[in-house]
Structure 1
Amino acid sequence: MIKTTMLMRGMAFLLLATFVFLLALPLGAVVLKSFEGVDGWTLHNYEQALSSGVLKEVFFNSVWVSTIAAVITTVLGFLLAYTIHFTNVAKPIKKFIRLGVTLPMLLPTITYGFVLIYAFGNQGIFSRLFGQPLFTIYGFNGLVIGYVLYTLPAAFLLMHNAMQYMDHRFIIVSHLMHDGKWRRFYHTILHPMLSPIGGAFILAFILSFTDYGIPASVGGTYDVIATTLYQTMLGSIPNFSQGAVISIAMLAPAVLGMITMGILERGNVSYKSVSQQVAFASKTKTVLFGSGSVIVVIALLAVFTPLIIVPFTTAYPFDFGFTLTHFQAVIQMPELMNVYKNSLLVAVCTALVGVVVAFIAGLLSARTKLKNRQAFDVIAMITNAVPGMVLGLGYLFFFNNSSLKGTFFIIIAYAIMHFFTTPFLMVKNALQKMDPSWEVTGALLRDSWLQTVYRVILPNVKKTLVEVFSYYFINAMVTVSGVIFLVTTHTVLVSTKIKELQHFSKFNEIFILSLFILVTNIVVKIICEFYLNRQSKRG
């Protein structure tokens, strides 16, 4: 690394000032609002929230349902990741598992609830198939199923990534030492995976605890903290101070979970080298885990079949004749098409600006000697811990009386801040793996630091930046929790429009708009994957 320059300091100052303005101040506004009373600062808001008992009830409801969903998600995610890495299942099946389990990530969570209604409700596809509803979909049951659908892709990817770096030769040694099956499983797989498994559980819990989309559609009378916050802020009589108190309550488990994940990471097991050759994977084990995983993925995808059946039937559930009438009607409705264009605009701008922000932050953190470069790691921890609804509420409070309120700028800024952690870590990790002497070599050749970054570092990190673009774009298309507080009639997005359409029972429009999001995200992923594969072949 070369010496710190004024350019580096200037870039760091501008970026940190941006985070202060778009992250620290809005969160500070939430904290201040929670202490705001009629006659000044007071603890009355907290006393009122705790004494009413409502906050306690919805808090523990959220904790309970999120815990159950996180346990199921972690077990299923481990099963799927184990099948891919520790059995001899055919490569096409492994690819089917990877793609199938991650497909729900391309849809807004509020769509999950409506899909569940049309799958397991009184007139649902599976209810009609079995002659009666299999269970009550509203309330606890619907929330658990919805949360599992939502969190399984993230938990799977976390454990899948961890298993990629496990040395399979330890299993061979355990076989040679005639260890029992359970002893071998514990010492060679389960124990090294304790940290990722714990991380997957905490991640699933936090995502479930802070999600608004699923309880908004199938929560029923089972109140959780996310819907309570929404009703407090956007109900018939908004109560901003109480909403701020609920936000603080929502923030507590998320922060605790992030701290626990930090502790769990200390238990990560590292290997001097890695061998991916699967050792002694019996035919019985392969068939058992392979068939189990395929069943899980098929069941997961089957839940979403109403999404591609209902909007193309004449009048579900009375007339199953195929028709494109509903699809054509949506295409011809300027209001809905403008909403889709809004989402597309926000996603593209979020991805483009997000790539720049993540790259500069990662560059300053990983490739300079700036004294304050660790501030970016702290910011990443904060954005990772703050729920989307809390950050969105902070933006509502902070920008309430400004000309920026309800603008696309605020929505894009929110998305960049909310999803900053993963892109930043992706860029930082990629830059840290590169030769640290590049900048010194560039200086010896009389290139400025900026020229070295442009000519050498940027071309070598292009693949990571494409992945960052894809990540930002997809998440901006499906986000709903925080933007629900930020949109106006002119800036409404597809994910928030779906909530509005729910009140008018326009489920054909809901499913068609959801398909627009799904297809758009798939196209973006295909384009990005094509580029990455092309770059890999060139390399």
Structure 2
Amino acid sequence: MKVLSRISRSLSTPSMMGWVVTAILFILIFLPLLAVLLQIVLPGMFFGEGHFAGWDLLFEIFERELWRKSLMNSLILAIGTAVLGTALGGILAIFRKTVEFRTALWLDFTAWALLILPSFILAQGWVLFSSGKGIANQIFGISWVTEFIFQPFGLIFIMTLCKFSYAYLAVTAALEWNVARYGEAARLCGANVWSAFRTVHFPLILPAFLSGGALIFMDTIGDFGLPASLAAVYSFPTLPYSIYTALYTAPIRFDMAGVLSFYLVGIIIIAMAIQMWVLRKGKFHSLNERAERYKPKKGKYSPLFMIVNICFLLIALGIPLGSNLLVSFMKTIGNGISLNNFTVDHYLSLLNIESTVIQGLIHSIVIAGVAAVVSLGIGFMITYVLVFTNFKLRPLIDSLSIISLAVPGVVLGIGYIFIWNQSWLESINLHLYGTPWILVLASIAGAIPISTRLILSSMTRVPQSLLSSAALQGAPLISRIRYVLVPLIKASLLTAVLTAFGTSVFDLAISTILYPPSFITLPVAINRAFEDLNYGYATAATITSGTAVVIIIMIIKFLGERSFNKSVSHVQEDEYVVNHSKHIEEF
């Protein structure tokens, strides 16, 4: 209790909160990244060799064909996916919140499933479906799918279907509250429905679109699993894949990994600077006393929306998951689709008490749960400092909060080895390398930018005047946050913690680099099965564990929203009692 009271007092002022989050981001993100970037000019410095190598290596990216092509491919892939994914996710979120149709919950399930399923599994499903001897050709006789998928726009198409969830969840959370009088005022002035939406409603949810687009861009440009999986049948090198090649081919090129990581970080910083510039140019405060929760309305086009939604879900989730599901029941892929080739042995093997998948699932859920809760608290403090304070290091905090998405998890993991594998840390009991705690720290670092961006989309809509009014009444900072700010953005907080949890469970790159030899995790267990060419067992493990995690998320989401609805109804009942009592007194 004494520790909690000290923490509460330390965060009692916005400036102190700013310094606390700056220190946290410096330790968790900046130092590991700096350790990797130092390999550009001081290769081998963490191995006792610190000879200055000069700055010429930075410019070799424009001279080496592979490096230059990787940079261009990453930019094309990230920009194309960000544009299409943001548009797709935003449109689906608007329909989900405004139109009532029967398969709406299926859309929520699909968004969460695509968010937590590892990208290399999704890529494997598309490869099994689209390859020359894949499901599309063998079962459906569709030959054009191969040419469509295995080309740049086809890869953007796949990435869009895998990454749109960020925009969907961000816009859905931003549409939790509806201020109808703004649209009504526009209609009274002669605006039609489309004009009112374009000029009034859309500008108010623009921060959510920008936050979702930024997350899609960062996650795409730093994604390793999907481009690497497709590279087996289609040559499309990206920066993360080239970094992986530098780290896992002889001789190991830490300097090359540092150069490519430097450009990844630079691209992300530029993208986030553009986003913050747009947010600062406009005012997005829209919540007031007349705000109500969005209630979907059933219209004459609801059956059409249901049909369109089913078709979309069959493509986005049905193809990759269905392909993996089909393979999980096959004895061998080479024998094709026949009754003699189907089996349930892969699923039965998962029930073994000594199964590494079950052990890895338990370990990954615990690590992801801790990372989600801690990153939610850190992300909330970061967002508060960015939105409601004039802390002088705000630009630095914003950059550090999203920098872990700028580099692949492989590079971040290497940085953690450099930082936490120092002999002098043993004397102060902080030698974390080789223990599960380093996985927890790395998972927190990876979840911080996700929590921050999702909370930011809703916190920017809360007027400063609400907190100022509470401050004038003598409420301290903790009370203003607890009783004013948190209730208004509760939906975004729930979305942020569940998103961070889902993405942390299947983090392959960090787990592969940092997991202790005697501490297996779920991504490592699945990846080992793939490396051993045991595709049936690997896909069975992925489907089983992925379904379990999605069910956990949906249950927590349902309970959280139910609690939120009860709190809203209680507030409305209290207001009714107060107003009714006033009428009686007046009478």
Where on the TM-score scale, by shorter chain, does this alignment land: which range?
Answer: 0.7 to 0.9
Q: Are 1:229 and 2:243 matched, yes or no?
A: yes
How much does 1:491 deviate? 4.0
Instruction: State the match for 1:97 in structure 2.
Output: 107
Q: Are 1:517 and 2:545 matched, yes or no?
A: yes
Q: What does 1:454-465 correspond to in 2, within 5 Å?
A: none
Q: Which amino acid aligns with 2:318?
A: A
How much does 1:84 deviate? 2.5
Instruction: State the match for 1:297 in structure 2.
Output: 313
Q: Which amino acid aligns with 2:506?
A: V
Q: Are 1:25 and 2:25 matched, yes or no?
A: no
Alpha-carbon spacing, 1:472–1:157, altered in 2? closer, same or farther (3 Å): closer
Q: Which amino acid aligns with 1:256?
A: I
Instruction: State the match for 1:446 in structure 2.
Output: none
Q: What does 1:215-294 correspond to in 2, within 5 Å?
A: 215-219=227-231, 220-266=234-280, 267=282, 269-271=284-286, 273-274=290-291, 283=300, 291-294=307-310
Q: Which amino acid aligns with 1:473?
A: F
Whole-angstrom CA distance in 1 between matches of 2:193 and 2:53: 62
Instruction: State the match for 2:397 in structure 1.
Output: 379
Alpha-carbon spacing, 1:522–1:185, altered in 2? closer, same or farther (3 Å): closer
TM-score, normalised via structure 1 length: 0.80
Moved more, 224-233 or 479-488: 479-488
Contact 2:439 2:515 in 1 (8 A): yes
3-state SS of paired residue (2:518): coil
Moved more, 478-487 or 295-304: 478-487
Moved more, 208-217 or 473-482: 473-482
Contact 1:113 1:142 in 2 (8 A): no
Whole-angstrom CA distance in 2 between matches of 1:431 and 1:323: 59
Alpha-carbon spacing, 1:122–1:80, altered in 2? closer, same or farther (3 Å): same
Whole-angstrom CA distance in 2 between matches of 1:416 and 1:7: 20
Percent pairwise identity: 17
Moved more, 139-148 or 454-463: 454-463
Whole-angstrom CA distance in 1 between matches of 2:440 and 2:124: 27
Q: Which amino acid aligns with 2:439?
A: I
How much does 1:67 deviate? 2.3
Whole-angstrom CA distance in 2 between matches of 1:340 and 1:126: 32
Contact 2:261 2:407 in 1 (8 A): no
Q: Are 1:474 and 2:502 matched, yes or no?
A: yes
Gaps of 5+ in 2: 1-7, 44-49, 424-430, 568-587
Instruction: State the match for 1:326 in structure 2.
Output: 346
How much does 1:345 deviate? 3.8
3-state SS of paired residue (2:103): helix
Q: Which amino acid aligns with 1:33?
A: Q
Whole-angstrom CA distance in 2 between matches of 1:193 and 1:431: 14
Instruction: State the match for 2:522 in structure 1.
Output: 494
Match of 1:529 among 557, 560, 564: 557
How much does 1:222 deviate? 0.9
Q: Which amino acid aligns with 2:326?
A: I
Q: Are 1:36 and 2:46 matched, yes or no?
A: no
Whole-angstrom CA distance in 1 between matches of 2:279 and 2:384: 24
TM-score, normalised via structure 2 length: 0.75
Whole-angstrom CA distance in 2 between matches of 1:201 and 1:255: 14
Alpha-carbon spacing, 1:431–1:478, altered in 2? closer, same or farther (3 Å): farther
Instruction: State the match for 2:582 in structure 1.
Output: none
How much does 1:195 deviate? 5.1
Whole-angstrom CA distance in 1 between matches of 2:367 and 2:453: 23
Q: Are 1:415 and 2:446 matched, yes or no?
A: no
Gaps of 5+ in 1: 443-448
Q: How many residues align?
A: 523
Whole-angstrom CA distance in 1 between matches of 2:114 and 2:521: 19
How much does 1:153 deviate? 0.6
Match of 1:112 among 122, 141, 160: 122
3-state SS of paired residue (1:34): coil
* Cα deviations by residue, 1:225-272 (Å, 9 ceiling, x for unpaired): 111111111223210111111100111221111111112223354435
Whole-angstrom CA distance in 1 between matches of 2:490 and 2:187: 43
3-state SS of paired residue (1:237): coil
Match of 1:144 among 147, 156, 159: 156
Whole-angstrom CA distance in 2 between matches of 1:29 and 1:59: 22
Q: Are 1:394 and 2:400 matched, yes or no?
A: no
Q: Are 1:210 and 2:222 matched, yes or no?
A: yes
Whole-angstrom CA distance in 1 between matches of 2:296 and 2:514: 53
3-state SS of paired residue (1:256): helix
Contact 2:31 2:419 in 1 (8 A): yes
Whole-angstrom CA distance in 2 between matches of 1:464 and 1:194: 15
3-state SS of paired residue (1:92): coil
Whole-angstrom CA distance in 1 between matches of 2:377 and 2:189: 52
Contact 1:112 1:214 in 2 (8 A): yes
* Cα deviations by residue, 1:418-454 (Å, 9 ceiling, x for unpaired): 2113445778959997894699579xxxxxx99x899
